[in-house]
């Protein structure tokens, strides 16, 4: 275990600080609230000569990700950051990055989509990229933002994985909140992450290659299947990387975080910052004698279905606290994944999804307690699956 | 309906294909000119040239959009099935009807 260097930083600053310590070869980014501070701080480091990075101030997020693709194809270590509309504008190139197997790392400051225009926390932007073949992580705090920046590079660049990796922290709630962050010394990061990424093939003047060639009915499906195989590898590699990182830092990282679940009858399932409040509610309810626990999904893609089943087996009912919007869907976004992961298995809980906290609306601790009571009622009424919007005014 | 076996040629093309494990990662391949990429298996038809009828006028040679026609030592046209996509332009332009488009099914 390494002696930490304690700092006071916001989530954005923590990401920028980790990126500074990693010293990537290329950063191409465009500023968007609430990600701006990541790019601002990092461009300071570039200007002050603290990092050797080539910083590309592009004109849009579509260009940002395109520049990252080009840079990564040469074998460079590449980092970028965005949010909301920016991530949506990158969407086309997200598929190019994963299809060409370029281990780009992307920090997302989760923010609501327009319209109406809103700059505050919501995770829909990241969740809807679930099919883009990116490894997708969520963080709860500035500390996790810092740690996941470092771990993301290690996961993405693993030769068995070679998939781009994004991690999200909620806008303002994490990105702008000042917290204690235990940072690692530069040397520890150099030991954890190799100086250069391992490159099997690269686009260089000496070695001409065709990247992103035309592939039709004959081979397209085979190439896409490679990405699925890589995702299965990412599932194992992420576990290894997180346990290795846990050993260095003494902070326990797993793809899912289990909190007081062993003897629980009821549980909250959440991701990102919501998990903090959920755990506080668990403590409150435990004091009142309720057997309740919390499960936090840290890795959303690849979806840790076996781990979630093991953790939730035998629990009566689960409240899914989902800070994301979906319309006309049979469940909340994460609830749909959970239902698929648990369907047809033995001793699975009933699933109760709550769409909440859209556009940065706060989900308070009394409200989560209210959700807990609702879930209990639904379960007692014999309902196996319910979905509702929670915390909005009707009239 | 009677099921017909595909011609041997067609079967060979199918067997030549790589599976997901053998394919280069992300489909990133060494640079080659288009001669390296055999695209003839896209087609459902092929141009079969009757050399006895061929008068060596070169019409097909110039009209072929894929440069899939070559001339042999006797100045008779030949279709290269590695690249022929079966469009039938050559057959339309042949003044002596020496080219027949045959289905591969």
Chain A residue with minimal CA distance to B33? A210
A210 strand-pairing partners? B29
A216 touches chain B (CB under 8 A): yes
Given pLDDT bands bounded at 50, 70 and 90, which one contains residue B12? low
Confidence bin at B20 (pLDDT 50/70/90)? confident
User: Which residues does residue A136 pair with via DSSP β-bridges, in sequence order?
Assistant: A166, A301
Say if residues A165 and A105 touch (Cβ distance below 8 Å): yes
A219·B27 Cβ contact <8 A: yes
Q: Is A162 on the interface with B (CB under 8 A)?
A: yes
* pLDDT band of B43, cuts 50, 70, 90: confident
Which chain B residues are within 8 Å of A232, Cβ to Cβ? none
Option in A102, A200, A213 nearest B27 (CB): A213
> Beta-carbon neighbour count of residue B70 at 10 Å?
13
Low-confidence stretches of chain A (pLDDT < 70) are none
Q: What's the burial of A14, exposed, middle or buried (CB within 10 Å: 0-12/13-18/19+)?
A: buried
How far does CA A391 lie from the centroid of its chain? 24
pLDDT of residue B2: 44
pTM, two decimal places:
0.85
pLDDT exceeds cutoff 50 at B1: no
Question: Binning pLDDT at 50, 70 and 90, where does residue B22 land?
Answer: confident
Distance between A61 CA and the closest CA of chain B, angstroms:
23
Pairwise CA distance, residues A105 & A80, whole Å: 6
Q: Do B31 and A219 touch (CB under 8 A)?
A: no
- B14 pLDDT above the threshold of 70: no
All residues at 6 or more sequence positions from B76 whose CB lies less than 8 Å from its CB, including other chains? B49, B51, B54, B56
**What per-residue confidence (pLDDT) applies to A229?**
97
Model pLDDT, residue A147: 98
Q: Which residues of A touch B41 (CB under 8 A)?
A: 218
Q: Exposure pattern of A15-29 as b/e (b: 16+ CB <10 Å)?
A: bbbbbbbbbbbbbbb
Q: How far apart are CA B21 and CA A226, in angstroms?
A: 7
Query: Cα separation of A82 and A108, whole Å?
Result: 5
- Residue B89's pLDDT is 96
pLDDT over 90 at B41, yes or no: no
pLDDT for residue A127: 98
Tell whether the model's pLDDT for residue B3 goes beyond 60.
no
Map tokens 């501070």 to a residue. Answer: A37
């Amino acid at each position: 275990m390494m002696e930490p260097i304690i700092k006071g930083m916001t989530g954005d600053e923590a990401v920028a600080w980790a990126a500074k310590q990693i010293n990537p070869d290329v950063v191409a980014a465009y500023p968007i609230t609430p990600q701006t501070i990541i790019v601002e701080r990092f461009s300071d480091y570039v200007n002050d000569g603290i990092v050797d990075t080539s910083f590309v101030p592009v004109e849009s997020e579509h260009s940002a990700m395109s520049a990252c693709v080009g840079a990564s194809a040469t074998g460079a270590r590449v980092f970028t950051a965005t949010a909301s509309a920016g991530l949506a504008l990158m969407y086309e190139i997200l598929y190019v990055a994963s299809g060409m197997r370029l281990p780009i790392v992307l920090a997302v400051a989760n923010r609501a989509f327009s319209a109406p225009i809103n700059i505050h926390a919501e995770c829909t932007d990241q969740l809807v990229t679930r099919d883009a073949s990116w490894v997708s992580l969520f963080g709860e705090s500035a500390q996790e933002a810092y740690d996941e920046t470092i771990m993301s590079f290690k996961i993405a660049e693993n030769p068995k994985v070679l998939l781009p990796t994004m991690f999200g922290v909620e806008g303002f709630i994490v990105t702008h909140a000042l917290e204690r962050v235990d940072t690692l010394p530069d040397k520890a990061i150099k030991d954890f992450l190799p100086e250069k990424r391992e490159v099997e093939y690269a686009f260089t003047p000496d070695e001409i290659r065709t990247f992103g060639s035309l592939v039709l009915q004959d081979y397209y499906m085979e190439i896409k299947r490679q990405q699925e195989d890589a995702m299965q590898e990412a599932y194992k590699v992420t576990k290894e990387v997180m346990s290795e990182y846990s050993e260095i830092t003494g902070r326990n990282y797993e793809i899912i975080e289990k909190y007081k679940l062993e003897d629980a009858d009821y549980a909250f399932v959440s991701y990102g910052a919501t998990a903090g409040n959920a755990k506080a509610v668990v403590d409150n309810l435990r004091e009142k004698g309720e057997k309740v626990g919390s499960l936090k999904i840290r890795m959303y893609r690849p979806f840790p279905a076996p781990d979630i089943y093991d953790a939730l087996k035998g629990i009566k009912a689960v409240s899914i606290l989902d800070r994301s919007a979906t319309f006309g869907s049979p469940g909340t976004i994460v609830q749909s994944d959970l239902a698929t992961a648990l369907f047809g298995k033995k001793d699975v809980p009933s699933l109760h999804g709550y769409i909440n906290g859209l556009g940065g609306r706060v989900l308070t601790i009394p409200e989560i307690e209210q959700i807990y009571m609702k879930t209990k009622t639904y379960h007692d009424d014999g309902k196996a699956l319910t979905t509702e919007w929670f915390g909005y005014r009707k009239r | 309906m009677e099921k017909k076996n595909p011609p041997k040629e067609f079967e060979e093309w199918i067997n030549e294909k790589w599976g997901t494990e053998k394919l280069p990662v992300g489909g990133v391949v060494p640079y080659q000119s288009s001669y390296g990429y055999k695209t003839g298996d896209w087609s459902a038809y092929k141009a079969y040239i009757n050399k006895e009828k061929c008068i060596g006028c070169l019409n097909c040679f110039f009209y072929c959009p894929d440069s899939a026609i070559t001339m042999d030592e006797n100045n008779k046209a030949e279709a290269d099935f590695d690249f022929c996509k079966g469009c039938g332009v050559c057959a339309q332009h042949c003044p002596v009807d020496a080219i027949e488009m045959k289905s591969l099914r």
